[in-house]
Structure formats: C-alpha cells, structure tokens
Amino acid sequence: MPPIPTDEQLARQAQAGERTAFEELAARYYPRLLNLALRMCGNREYAEETLQEAFLRAWEKLHTFRGESGFKAWLYKIATNFCYMKFRKIKSAPPMESLSLWLRSDAGEEGGADREIPDWSTDPQRALQNKDLRAAMDTALAELQEQQRLIFLLREVEGFSAQEVAGMTGLSVPAVKSRLHRARLFLRERLVPYFESAAGGSYA
C-alpha cells in the first residue's frame, strides 16, 4: 500500500496543476474547518458559504504557498480571514450549533495563572453527555468577543501553537496569550457552576 502523501506533497502537486491533489487537501480539512466556521458564523448555511469562498481563494492563491508554516496553517489563515469577514456581515447571528468540545487547562502560559483554572478534561465523555453543560458551553462561547473566540478555537480546539495563531491573526504572541487567557477565565466563570454540581464540590 503506497504511503499517504503529506499536505506539502499534495500542495506541490496542486501547484503543478493537479486539481485532484487540491481536492484531496480540501477533503482533509473541510470537516474541521466547517466546525470552526460554524462556531464563528453561527449556522451551517453561513459556514458552508464561508468555506466555499475560502477554498476558492486558497486555490487561486496556491502559487503563493511556500511551505514555511505548513499547509494547514496557511489554509487556516485564509479560512480565518473569511470567517472574520462573514461574521462582521452578520448583524444578528442565530444561535450557534452544539459545541462538541471540552475545556482543558494549559498551565505555563500567562505566568502560571492558568493553574487557577480547573482541569475540566478528566472525564470529557461524561461532560459531553451532560446536555445542560453542553448548552452552557455553547452559550458561553457565543458570548465571547469574536477575536477571543477565534483564538480560543484555534488554540484549544485545533491545537495550533500560540506562535501559529499569531501568524494567522496578525497579533503578537503575547497578545494571543493574553486574549486566550481572558477567554479561558470568562468560560471558567460561566461554566464552573456546572462542574461543581457534577463533582459535588467546589472549584473555587
């Protein structure tokens, strides 16, 4: 069985004119980018429209990909920009669809202040089965300022480093960490009562 080509190999093939190579790249990242767009745009129609525009732009600009940051980061940067533009066109975004994620603590950033935030990932399946908690997550994330929401999603859900998120958003690394920290604290404040209730104790 032949090895699965890397993103960069497919990108080079696409740059050489192989449209099927780009289609394979798009298929790899469409599901996760759709989740990101859903979180930012508010509903599936807006999200799918945003991704169509983003992938079209990626195809048009593929010749500019040089490989320094990796194809995934390059593609996400394009998609992120389109999510921003779409979000700003929406005057009153509809309720966001369910957010199937849980929060994790990441001690070490922000001078260790995150140690005050409980590790909520010890039993994620139980958390995801809690409909009230999941609804609270959706509501809290929707209340975040758009840039904080995007940074949180890129860092915590997509797993990009602070340096990569900075490159995507045009912010400095300290600014990314600061906004991420504020997002975590905001979500903690909104969600800790649900974890306290589930654990039968207090996280204070």
Residue-wise pLDDT for 56-114, tens only, equals: 999 999 999 988 789 999 999 999 989 888 777 765 444 444 443 333 334 344 443 34
pLDDT of residue 41: 79
Mean pLDDT, the chain, as a whole number?
79
Task: Please identify which residue in the block is written with the tokens 């207090």.
Answer: 202
- What gap in Å lies between CA 128 and CA 85, rounded to an integer? 31
Contact 42, 96 (CB under 8 A): yes
pLDDT of residue 140: 84
- What gap in Å lies between CA 52 and CA 84, rounded to an integer? 15
Helices (H), the chain: 7-15, 19-41, 44-60, 71-89, 124-129, 131-143, 146-152, 162-169, 173-199
Copy the structure tokens of residue 51.
């991704």
